[in-house]
Amino acid sequence: MADRRQQLLSFLAELGLEAHGRDLAPLEEALSHTSARRPRNHERLEFLGDAVLRLAASEYLERHHGALAVGRRSALRAQLVSDRWLAELGGRCGIERVWRIGPMAAGDRAGQATVRAELTEALIGALYQMWGGPKGGLQPVLQWLTPHWQRSSAELLADPQRHNWKSALQEWSQGRGLGLPSYSCREQHPEHGHPQRFLCRAELALEPDAEPQGAEGAGASHRAAEQDAARALLEQLRPAPGC
């Protein structure tokens, strides 16, 4: 027990957070995936973390990118709170070293990006709760995430279409005087956390009376599936390099 507490304190220290004397129960809960079948799992704090993440991202953008138009700020925030970004953050921070997941999830390499995203979001909820919720819980979240957001923001502002295939597809279509792409999604795998849980089809009419051109993509969420479908369709529509 003492070894586990020290492991968690060391993990938080690597995030730049000092937590000696604080109750680590929320952190343990956040790092316990449902697949581990422990009495308390990450889902409650993932739900909380989703709201905290969006609030923290809005606060970050107000402080550091307040001159951006609201539309650009909203688009940037969508990237800074995406499942992809959370999974990458969890990987950089080594969340695998402290998480508790079941053997099936541990053996599913394809699904581990989803697990990283879920537990990283739960970790954000845990930090908020550990530091007092509305009475100061946003401070450690901002302290941890701000350097990561600064790096990601610089990359995204330099290349606005980076990882945002829906925006890139819309820009491509509008630049050619076409209409907006349409998206339709359905659930193809019922289990929560499946990396291809949702299947989405993106379509774009290239001529007024012609059948729309389409492509399919999959992802763990509606949003991820739409992005994957937009990527697939854009790759169809764009000429290959050198053509």
Residue with token string 């990359």 = 155
**Per the residue annotation, which of 43, 50, 59, 203 is the catalytic one?**
50
Rounded CA gap, 208 and 144, in Å? Answer: 50
**Per the residue annotation, which of 29, 88, 121, 226 is the catalytic one?**
121
| H helices present in the chain, as ranges | 2-14, 25-30, 43-64, 70-80, 83-93, 103-107, 112-130, 138-158, 165-175, 222-237
37: left (phi over 0), alpha (psi -120 to 50) or beta: left
- Dihedral of alpha carbons 53, 56, 60, 61, sign: positive
| Residue 209 falls in the annotated catalytic set | no
At position 171, the amino acid (one-letter code) is E
The candidate with the shortest Cα–Cα distance to 118, out of 30, 13, 16, is 30
Rounded CA gap, 13 and 234, in Å? Answer: 43
Rounded CA gap, 81 and 59, in Å? Answer: 13
| Residue 121 falls in the annotated catalytic set | yes
Rounded CA gap, 41 and 103, in Å? Answer: 15
- What is the set of active-site residues? 50, 121
